[in-house]
Amino acid sequence: MKAYDMVIKNGIIVTATDVYKADIGVKNEKIVEIAKEIDSNNAANVIDATDKYVFPGAIDVHTHLDMPFGGTVSSDNFETGTVAAAYGGTTTIIDFAIQSKGESLKKALEIWHNKAQGKAFIDYGFHIAITDMNDEILDEMKELIKEGYPSFKLFMTYEGLRVNDDVLLKALLLAKEEGGLICVHAENFYIIDYLVKKFVREGKTHPKFHALSRPTIAEWEAVSRAIKVAQFANAPLYIVHLSCMEALKEVTYARNRGLPIMAETCPQYLLLSEERYEEEGFNGAKYVMSPPLRSSEHLQALWEGLKCGQLQVVSTDHCPFFLKGQKDLGKDSFDKIPNGAPGIELRLALLFSYGVMTKRITLQQFVEIISTNPAKIFGLYPQKGTVTIGSDADLVIFDPSIEKRVTKELLHENDDYTPYEGFKITGLPVTTIVRGKVVIKDGKLVGQKGYGKFLKRKNLMVV
């Protein structure tokens, strides 16, 4: 019997705090040794990582796989979506189990467990999106926090999903008491509803009116309100897919006063601007997502927010729909276009190319944003999110010398387009390891469907 199941030799290990050259020994799914030199004769499998970075497996805390939404279902399921994630260096996702009206949270979880069971190539957890609150649901929240589901999402907009401030307050008070975390999709429903109806009435139906009906003030107001309700409840709050500088200022102001407010943004809000809605014909529909893409000054502000630590996470909000056959449900009017876009595969490559290579963020910050902070905030640290003895052997070997142009054909997402077509990429994950098993080897899928396991989470941290 060999001492190690795997030894990774000569890689440059990067954590949120360190960059150093060392070998990594893996046994029984865990990292068991990190040393300057580990004898590879003692290993069943040796991987040479010379001139490559070794990152902790990336964690994407915002995905929508196999999700009914906007009159259709997101086009990646737990098989195709986790394969694409693994190609991109992501070893864990946290997806959203969405409660239907009149349904218990446990029922929503049962449905989402069935979607994922036996399909995932990488590990996964679930947030629960609450759409129908009452006293029984509050009791369920209490129970579920203890059972490994400590994070909940509330939509402040979207007809049929949204909740009012009384629900937000009750959920925050309970989460504070029981050690849970409330995440919010923060946009003002009434501003959006007013503008959507007005544009439709005026015959303004092109995809660009999606963005015009969701101005930054709608996000700003809702972020500001959610923060104030959280402050009143003395509870931590996590704002999902933050897209604009006014909202970022609210987060910064709150954090500077010591409030436990955290926020994520996504590659689309860092790299794509509102001009995309002007693309020929119906192509603007590719970028119909909520919040929408913003003007370039917002992109700049978000990069600053990452650099200064006022934004703690970059997730993808991967919610793919085919342009032909799904997005075109809204061919006649923007308000019928399913909201969402693909992105699960390119998060690391984009953030490395346009963040690290351009010196907007450091290599350590990159790791913090894509792995360590998500693990800490959502109760997976230090099992995941770092490279240390005792952690799961979730590792990404990343080759910074690869240069490519993004094409849809390069990717494994189940969609007929990528919003990043033509983007120049420097650096790509080449090997992805989940709990000591190689899932992607030198750019090829070698993992097994169903290997990915459900993760119970606890001990959430405020970062």
| Binding residues vs ligand URP (CB under 6 A) | 64, 185, 241, 289-290, 317, 319, 339-340
Residue 214 interacts with Zn ion (CB under 5 A): yes or no? no
CB atoms within 10 A of CB 81: 34
92 bridge partner residues: 59, 123
329 bridge partner residues: none
Place of tokens 């996470």: 313
In the complex, the smallest distance separating the C-beta of residue 264 from Zn ion, rounded to whole angstroms, is 10
Distances (CA, A) of 257 to 98, 260, 305: 33, 9, 16
Touching Zn ion, residues 225-244 (CB under 5 A): none
Half-sphere exposure of 105 (CA within 13 A, CB side): 28
- Closer to ligand URP at the Cβ: 24 or 182? 182
In the complex, the smallest distance separating the C-beta of residue 260 from ligand URP, rounded to whole angstroms, is 22
- Written as one letter, the residue type at 15 is T
Residue 264 interacts with Zn ion (CB under 5 A): yes or no? no
- Our CA angle for 394, 397, 398, nearest 5°, is 130
Alpha-helix runs per DSSP H in 291-333: 296-307
- Our CA angle for 189, 194, 195, nearest 5°, is 105
Residue 392 interacts with Zn ion (CB under 5 A): yes or no? no
Task: Give the end-to-end CA distance of the chain in Å, rounded to a whole number.
Answer: 42
In the complex, the smallest distance separating the C-beta of residue 108 from ligand URP, rounded to whole angstroms, is 15
- Closer to ligand URP at the Cβ: 64 or 435? 64
Q: Which does 340 bind (CB under 5 to 8 A by kind): ligand URP, Zn ion, none?
A: ligand URP
- Written as one letter, the residue type at 204 is K
In the complex, the smallest distance separating the C-beta of residue 64 from ligand URP, rounded to whole angstroms, is 5
- Closer to ligand URP at the Cβ: 54 or 285? 285
Residue 286 interacts with Zn ion (CB under 5 A): yes or no? no
Residue 185 interacts with Zn ion (CB under 5 A): yes or no? yes
Residue 294 interacts with Zn ion (CB under 5 A): yes or no? no
In the complex, the smallest distance separating the C-beta of residue 82 from ligand URP, rounded to whole angstroms, is 18
CA-based nearest residue to 301, from 255, 270, 273, 277? 270
Q: Is residue 37 left, alpha or beta, with left meaning phi > 0 and alpha meaning psi from -120 to 50?
A: beta
Segment contacting Zn ion by CB under 5 A, of 72-80, 99-107, 183-191, 402-410: 183-191
The C-alpha atoms of residue 403 and residue 428 are separated, in whole angstroms, by: 8
Residue 412 interacts with Zn ion (CB under 5 A): yes or no? no
Q: Which does 252 bind (CB under 5 to 8 A by kind): ligand URP, Zn ion, none?
A: none
| Shortest-Cβ-distance residue relative to Zn ion | 185
- Closer to Zn ion at the Cβ: 158 or 451? 158
Q: Which does 345 bind (CB under 5 to 8 A by kind): Zn ion, ligand URP, none?
A: none
With contact defined as beta carbons under 8 Å apart, do 157 and 192 qualify? yes
In the complex, the smallest distance separating the C-beta of residue 157 from ligand URP, rounded to whole angstroms, is 8
Q: Which does 289 bind (CB under 5 to 8 A by kind): Zn ion, ligand URP, none?
A: ligand URP
The C-alpha atoms of residue 284 and residue 334 are separated, in whole angstroms, by: 10
Interface with Zn ion (CB under 5 A), residue from 76, 317, 345, 413: 317
In the complex, the smallest distance separating the C-beta of residue 161 from ligand URP, rounded to whole angstroms, is 8
- Closer to ligand URP at the Cβ: 292 or 447? 292
- Closer to Zn ion at the Cβ: 274 or 317? 317
Three-state helix/strand/coil letters over 393-420: CCEEEEEEEEEEECCHHHCCCCCCCCCC
- Closer to ligand URP at the Cβ: 185 or 457? 185
Residue 66 interacts with Zn ion (CB under 5 A): yes or no? no
CA-based nearest residue to 292, from 362, 344, 246, 243? 243
In the complex, the smallest distance separating the C-beta of residue 4 from ligand URP, rounded to whole angstroms, is 41
Distances (CA, A) of 31 to 337, 371, 384, 446: 45, 16, 11, 21
- Closer to ligand URP at the Cβ: 52 or 241? 241
- Closer to ligand URP at the Cβ: 419 or 436? 419
Residues forming contacts to Zn ion in the complex (CB under 5 A) are: 185, 317
